[in-house]
Amino acid sequence: MDYKKAVQSRRTFAIISHPDAGKTTLTEKLLLFGGAIREAGSVKGKKNSKHAMSDWMEIEKQRGISVTSSVLEFLYDGYHVNILDTPGHEDFSEDTYRTLTAADSATMLIDAAKGVEAQTKKLFKVCKMRGIPIFTFMNKLDRQGRDPFELMEELENLLGIRSYPMGWPIGMGQSFSGVYDRHNKKLELYNPENPKEIDVIQLTGPDDPKLDEAIGEEGLVAQFREELELLDVAGDEFDPELIAKGKLTPIFFGSAISSFGVQTFLEHFLKLSPAPTPRESSKGLIEPLENQSFSGFIFKIQANMNPAHRDRIAFLRITSGKFERGMSVKHVRVGKNLKLAQPTQFLAQSRSIVDEAYAGDIIGLFDPGTFRIGDTLVEGDNFEFAEMPHFSPEFFSAITVKEALKHKSYEKGLQQLTEEGAIQLFKTYNRFAEQQIVGVVGVLQFEVLEYRLKHEYHVDIQLERLPFSFARWADGPAEAMDAFKKSQRNLVTDRDGRIVVLFENEFQMRTAIDKYPEMKFYENSFIKSNS
């Protein structure tokens, strides 16, 4: 296949949402449209813990939730779509954040009755930091939700992003009758009796009498026309450039459970979302279309997806070029050549060997323990991609091993889990007795840590929760730094020896910022791939 064509047809994105907004449902509908699965309900059996496709780890099976994130791919209308799935549970890990570094755009899924919720806000922040385009799908219109104008206001007030509704709903909940596609002037009718059957009517515009005929209820139609006029007059204009910069989010309305609005969303999304985007590296921007030699970076390492094999999989985002099975690449950090003989791509559990893949695709590499998050692999060149951000944990525990004799295995396990990015490990700074502290983004990671150390390294640990909620990487001129170090009690060092300060609450943090104006406190660090 023509290289440029192949790359241009790739769309790699992540769905960000708060638990229960309907991410699994939407993902499943997208896969159904792409023919990647045949029946609904096969992405994951929640709650009753049926065999879920992404339930790799035992702990996931036990709890019936998805702890790890996976990659799903499907073909639609000539596009090759990669969905980076992020955990749907409240307790997520740094993986969730890092997965977003491999995405070129994001779809923010919002429950129209709930609006912007906590987890969506956190994930949005990471997308905003990267400046990627963000699409919004307002879900569950079949239920009574919030006023669409109010939802738009919330996007602006809570997330700081302007929006452009691509469609506008007619009624909601009991009165939900359909969505008008502002671009194509099409009316999609919602039939509550048989929601999967969607009638589409081509209109000349919102004033077309066919609309009155189709909806039937005068009041609803009048309200719809009034709202649409208000949007046309007072709303933002459609601006693809602002969308591309992540400054304007196109909004779609629908009901994922009844597949309503999903296809319209998908079709607009594929046209508006970017093909694989460039990434910053030590030799400048690596443009996928201009660089035909292979390069990529590891953004996630997952251990023991299949407990029977006890293997580790490193997920690599191809940044440029074409991957071919058996090819030799350079593992830049260690300066060695590697043969990529056994890569796998995932439709969850059914692993299949990939023979070729292009920029934008994600491949899973069997990892005998040589990879780290942020590692660069290149063909015939020698550069490294920019460091991978490392986010502030929100939960902290002091960690000790129960049996001193197992210290070696304990250290090995901790090192592996740190390399995978499942946990962050800190050491107390300048204390009489050095103490190890584990930081995680989602509290569930403590359980994962305990479980994995016990099952993979046969080590029992003791965790003692600490009252901190924020970690900030501290930096400043030498003198200020010295004064700061002497005065602070809750200082730790990260695995690269950098000084990090732990705060219990915002108030403590503010006080430190005010007291040490010369100091800088960073919310995220960077994982140095050569550390």
Residues that bind ligand G4P (CB under 6 A): 17, 19-25, 46, 88, 139-140, 142-143, 255-257
Phi then psi dihedrals of residue 135, to 5 deg: -105, 145
Residue closer to ligand G4P by CB (options 22, 374) is 22
Cβ atoms of 13 and 84 closer than 8 Å: yes
Residue closer to ligand G4P by CB (options 112, 221) is 112
- In 231-243, which positions are buried (b, 16+ CB within 10 angstroms) versus exposed (e)? beeebbeeeeebb
Two structure tokens written together for 94: 């740094």
Question: Please, what is the minimum distance in Å from the beta carbon of residue 178 to ligand G4P?
Answer: 14
Question: Please, what is the minimum distance in Å from the beta carbon of residue 237 to ligand G4P?
Answer: 29
Residue closer to ligand G4P by CB (options 43, 166) is 43
Question: Please, what is the minimum distance in Å from the beta carbon of residue 44 to ligand G4P?
Answer: 8
Two structure tokens written together for 248: 């304007």
- Give helix 444-457 / helix 407-420 axis angle, nearest 10°: 130
Closest CA to 155 of 109, 223, 86: 109
The residue assigned the tokens 């900030």 is: 472
Residue closer to ligand G4P by CB (options 87, 276) is 87
Q: Annotation-wise, does 105 bind a ligand?
A: no
Integer Cα distance of 205 and 187 in angstroms: 10
Cβ-based neighbours of 19, under 8 Å, separated by 6 or more: 88, 89, 90, 119
Q: Annotation-wise, does 142 bind a ligand?
A: yes
Q: Annotation-wise, does 120 bind a ligand?
A: no
DSSP secondary structure of 131-181: T--EEEEEE-TTS----HHHHHHHIIIII--EEEESEEEES-GGG--EEEE
Q: Annotation-wise, does 86 bind a ligand?
A: yes
Integer Cα distance of 29 and 177 in angstroms: 21
Q: Annotation-wise, does 208 bind a ligand?
A: no
CA distances from 396 to 390, 392, 508 (A): 15, 11, 16
Residue closer to ligand G4P by CB (options 167, 374) is 167
Residue closer to ligand G4P by CB (options 87, 343) is 87
Question: Please, what is the minimum distance in Å from the beta carbon of residue 252 to ligand G4P?
Answer: 12
Q: Which helix (H) or strand (E) holds 58?
A: helix 58-63
Residue closer to ligand G4P by CB (options 257, 318) is 257
Q: Annotation-wise, does 17 bind a ligand?
A: yes
Residue closer to ligand G4P by CB (options 88, 360) is 88
Question: Please, what is the minimum distance in Å from the beta carbon of residue 153 to ligand G4P?
Answer: 22
Question: Please, what is the minimum distance in Å from the beta carbon of residue 72 to ligand G4P?
Answer: 13
Cβ atoms of 13 and 240 closer than 8 Å: no
Q: Annotation-wise, does 21 bind a ligand?
A: yes
Question: Please, what is the minimum distance in Å from the beta carbon of residue 162 to ligand G4P?
Answer: 25
Question: Please, what is the minimum distance in Å from the beta carbon of residue 217 to ligand G4P?
Answer: 21
Integer Cα distance of 202 and 221 in angstroms: 16
Cβ neighbourhood burial of 477 (10 Å; 0-12, 13-18, 19+): exposed
Q: Annotation-wise, does 230 bind a ligand?
A: no
Integer Cα distance of 317 and 298 in angstroms: 6
Residue closer to ligand G4P by CB (options 30, 59) is 30
Q: Annotation-wise, does 19 bind a ligand?
A: yes
The residue assigned the tokens 């994995």 is: 452
Cβ atoms of 483 and 510 closer than 8 Å: no
Q: Annotation-wise, does 22 bind a ligand?
A: yes
Q: Annotation-wise, does 141 bind a ligand?
A: yes
Question: Please, what is the minimum distance in Å from the beta carbon of residue 227 to ligand G4P?
Answer: 21
Q: Annotation-wise, does 140 bind a ligand?
A: yes
Which residues define the annotated binding site? 17-24, 85-89, 139-142
Which residues define the annotated binding site for GTP? 17-24, 85-89, 139-142
